[in-house]
Amino acid sequence: MRASPAIVRTHLAPMICVLLLAGMWGDRRLFHLPTGDPSAYHAAVRAVADALPQDIGDHWKGTDVDPPVSAVEMLKPNVLRGTRYRNTVTGETATLVVVQCRDARDMTGHFPPICYPSHGWEVLDSTFMKIRVDEIDVPVTRYRMTIESIDRFSEIVIYNFFAHPGGALEAKRATALKAAENPRLKVFGAGQFQVIVNASMPEDRQREVFQVLVKAMLPLVDAIKQGGSE
């Protein structure tokens, strides 16, 4: 015996509601959808960045590095911090660049294989790795780059990773690209961290320097990852 249309409608409506709620929950879990006020979130991230110390530990002394005007115009950053560090004991130097954008779309072009070659650098190779910082395995892409002209030759190594609202860390920009296409996600932006050292520094030491500098940035990494409650 077939059910009457009235009975079907009576049972169908609750089923549709359950399916819709399940889909919304799954969508939020899949995309780590942040909630809350984007403006309050970005203000909180900026406050954490402003409170970070200029010097790290007893030996790493930091000096501000002015970002290119073009980078500011392109990124429209909420946080943009460039610091050149010098170890007062060993004489080693390293540069830390941190950027966090209000809109994930602005981050998609700020990516070493794109922005460095546009300024004359050649990417020699890139390697994926994870580097332990405190209790976190940070996914990193290590880029080796060179620039050469009549009066200039330089070779550097860049350790690069991204931090995203919702808790994600990644070595490349896949999450930023996905967020840039999602109207609900793009307004929470994305963050990127670069540690730049001279290629003459031994690789084991490069990782140690990365660990020291990024450990000091963990409050900012955490602030970017939080991005509101789920």
- Enclosing H/E stretch for 79: strand 77-87
HEC letters along 107-148 = HCCCCHHHHCHHHCCEEEEEEEEEEEECCEEEEEEEEEEEEE
Residue 73 pLDDT > 70: no
User: Tell me, what's the pLDDT at 39?
Assistant: 92
Q: What mean pLDDT comes out for the span 127-132?
A: 96
Distance CA 182, CA 135 (A): 31
Taking the model in full, what pTM does it have? 0.81
Report, at the CATH architecture level, how domain 36-226 is classified.
Answer: 3-Layer(aba) Sandwich (3.40)
Task: Report CA-CA distances (Å) from 124 to 142, 156, 195.
Answer: 11, 10, 17
Give Rg (Cα) of the chain.
22
Residue 164 pLDDT > 70: yes
Burial pattern 183-194, b for ≥16 Cβ within 10 A else e, equals eebbbbbbbbbb
More confident residue, 62 or 14: 62
User: Tell me, what's the pLDDT at 71?
Assistant: 59
Distance CA 48, CA 217 (A): 10
Residue 188 pLDDT > 80: yes
pLDDT digits (tens, 9 = 90+) for 28-68: 444 444 556 899 999 999 999 999 999 999 999 999 997 65
Residue 146 pLDDT > 80: yes
The Cα diameter of the chain in Å comes to 90
Round the average pLDDT of the chain to a whole number and report it.
83
For the chain, the structural domain boundaries read: 1-31, 36-226
Residue 4 pLDDT > 60: no
Q: What mean pLDDT comes out for the span 207-224?
A: 97
Angle at 55 between CA 50 and CA 57, to 5 degrees: 125
- Are 36 and 228 in contact by the 8 Å Cβ rule? The answer is yes
User: Tell me, what's the pLDDT at 33?
Assistant: 46
User: Helix axis angle, 38-51 relative to 203-226, nearest 10°?
Assistant: 140
Question: pLDDT exceeding 70 applies to what percent of the chain?
Answer: 79
Residue 171 pLDDT > 90: yes
